[in-house]
């Protein structure tokens, strides 16, 4: 059965300002987000993530294009008529209301009967595991607990879609990891479509069903985390999602070669001319300098990281390559600066990118 689309943007454009001072925050963004999906907008600061979220929420009107919810054009609908809620980085809890009152606030404003509101509060308190703190005020809670209240408040009216704008960025690393798992659990239990904004690539890869990578107001690639990590469409995506080595070369007569002439084991179907090869550090291995089918390199540095060591090498043409080598139980990898070695790429590891 094909999945139904919850949110769709069609050629959405957003310009801020007027005349010569116009900023194009979004440029022809067309994306479809499935019902029940954990979908992440990922990109560097200023690429337009928040603007896209604000268009979906209705806080901003697109300069051109449409926003659809469940197939209906909602472009002109005000935020309060959209069954969409937002969780902000700042939580934005009401300081004078208790945890329970904060959670019930939205439903109360919608005029729901008291019994219905109370039932929803109970359910949400259990969902975010804050039953024992129902009567506390927000300032009596830790950052993580406040974030749970903000989530419970946004989920209480059972929106069709929950928008989350960098909701974890105010938390310290340990709590952030805990809340990442918590968010995944909440999404799975409620089945609500989550659209999550982050500039943290690891967060995007670990949490999402699919990720949209954005740059300068455009979506460059949409795909499952593995797809984006292993098959980035261009250099920007490859570089933004994890560490990547780049090598300049060319494809001619079905063969991939480095600029220096060595042949590379890359699948070159569909490519010709000058290209960039991309390879992840964990897909580079080091072998003896005189081993067959390897590139000659000199080690310029080794950096110990506990579970692995990053081995920086230089090829004959000056290109630097990093290999992430797993450490032996002794912690030694037996390589040192100045060693002449060979390096190999795992089968299928080299991606060919258009320049
Ligand atoms: P961040 O991760 O820093 O929050 P972002 O990817 O969410 O960034 P947006 O906040 O959507 O990016 O901003 C996209 C572009 O639009 C930026 O160049 C920003 O300066 C500009 N912009 C955003 N809001 C406004 C506004 N109200 N008026 C003018 N320009 C704006």
pLDDT in tens, 43-86: 999 999 999 999 999 999 999 999 999 999 999 999 999 999 99
Distance CA 57, CA 68 (A): 11
pLDDT in tens, 249-268: 999 888 899 888 888 888 88
Summary mean pLDDT of the chain: 92
Among 238, 202, 208, 204, smallest CA distance to 220 is for 238
Among 48, 82, 32, smallest CA distance to 199 is for 48
Residue nearest atom 19 in ligand 1 by C-alpha distance: 46
Q: How high is the pLDDT of residue 217?
A: 97
Residues of the chain with CATH 2.40.50.140: 243-353
Is the C-beta atom of 192 inside 6 A of ligand 1? Answer: no
Helix (H) or strand (E) holding 96: none
Q: How high is the pLDDT of residue 135?
A: 95
Residue nearest atom 29 in ligand 1 by C-alpha distance: 16
Residue nearest atom 18 in ligand 1 by C-alpha distance: 46
Is the C-beta atom of 249 inside 6 A of ligand 1? Answer: no
CATH of domain 5-235: 3.40.50.300
Mean pLDDT of 186-199: 94
Residues composing the chain: 355
Classify 343 as helix, strand or coil: strand
| Distance set, CA 266 to CA 68, 257, 260, 275, 321 (Å) | 41, 9, 16, 12, 17
Are 89 and 166 in contact by the 8 Å Cβ rule? The answer is: yes
Distance CA 117, CA 115 (A): 5
Is the C-beta atom of 83 inside 6 A of ligand 1? Answer: no
> What residues does 273 pair with on adjacent strands?
251
Structure tokens at 5: 């689309």
Q: What is the pTM of this model?
A: 0.89
Among 61, 49, 8, 47, smallest CA distance to 30 is for 8
Residue nearest atom 16 in ligand 1 by C-alpha distance: 25
Is the C-beta atom of 113 inside 6 A of ligand 1? Answer: no
CATH 2.40.50.140 describes domain 243-353: yes
Among 81, 73, 51, smallest CA distance to 159 is for 81
> What residues does 38 pair with on adjacent strands?
194
Are 5 and 35 in contact by the 8 Å Cβ rule? The answer is: yes
Residues of the chain with CATH 3.40.50.300: 5-235
Q: How many CB atoms lie within 10 A of CB 130?
A: 20
CA angle 313, 314, 316 (to 5 degrees): 145
Rounded distance from Cα 25 to ligand 1 centre (Å): 6
Alpha helices (runs of H) in the chain, residue ranges in sequence order: 49-57, 99-109, 114-127, 143-155, 173-190, 201-207, 225-230, 235-240
Q: How high is the pLDDT of residue 21?
A: 87
CA-54 nearest atom, ligand 1: 11
């Amino acid at each position: 059965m094909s999945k139904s689309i919850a949110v769709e943007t069609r050629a959405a454009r957003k310009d801020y300002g007027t005349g010569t001072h116009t900023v194009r925050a979004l440029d022809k963004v067309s994306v479809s987000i499935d019902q029940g999906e954990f979908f992440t907008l990922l990109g560097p600061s200023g690429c337009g993530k928040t603007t896209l979220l604000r268009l979906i929420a209705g806080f901003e009107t697109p300069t051109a294009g449409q926003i659809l919810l469940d197939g209906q054009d909602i472009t002109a609908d005000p935020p309060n008529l959209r069954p969409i809620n937002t969780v902000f980085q700042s939580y934005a809890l009401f300081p004078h209301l208790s945890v329970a009152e904060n959670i019930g606030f939205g439903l109360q404003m919608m005029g729901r009967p008291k019994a219905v509101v109370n039932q929803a509060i109970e359910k949400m308190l259990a969902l975010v595991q804050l039953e024992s703190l129902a009567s506390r005020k927000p300032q009596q809670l830790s950052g993580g607990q406040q974030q749970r209240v903000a989530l419970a408040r946004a989920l209480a009216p059972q929106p069709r879609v929950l928008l989350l704008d960098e909701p974890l960025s105010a938390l310290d690393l340990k709590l952030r990891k805990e809340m990442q798992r918590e968010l995944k659990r909440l999404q799975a239990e409620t089945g609500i479509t989550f659209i999550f904004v982050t500039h943290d690539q690891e967060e995007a890869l670990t949490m999402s069903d699919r990720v949209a990578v954005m740059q300068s107001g455009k979506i460059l690639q949409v795909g499952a985390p593995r797809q984006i990590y292993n098959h980035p469409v261009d250099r920007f995506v490859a570089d933004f999602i994890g560490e990547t080595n780049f090598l300049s070369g060319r494809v001619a007569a079905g063969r991939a070669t480095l600029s220096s002439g060595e042949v590379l084991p890359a699948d070159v179907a569909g490519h010709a001319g000058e290209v960039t090869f991309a390879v992840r550090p964990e897909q580079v291995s080091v072998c003896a300098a005189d081993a067959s089918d390897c590139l000659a390199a000199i080690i310029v540095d080794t950096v110990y990281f506990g579970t692995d060591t990053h081995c920086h090498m230089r090829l004959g043409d000056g290109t630097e390559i990093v290999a992430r080598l797993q450490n032996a139980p002794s912690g030694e990898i037996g390589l040192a600066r100045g060693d002449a070695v060979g390096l190999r790429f795992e089968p299928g590891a080299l991606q060919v990118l258009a320049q």
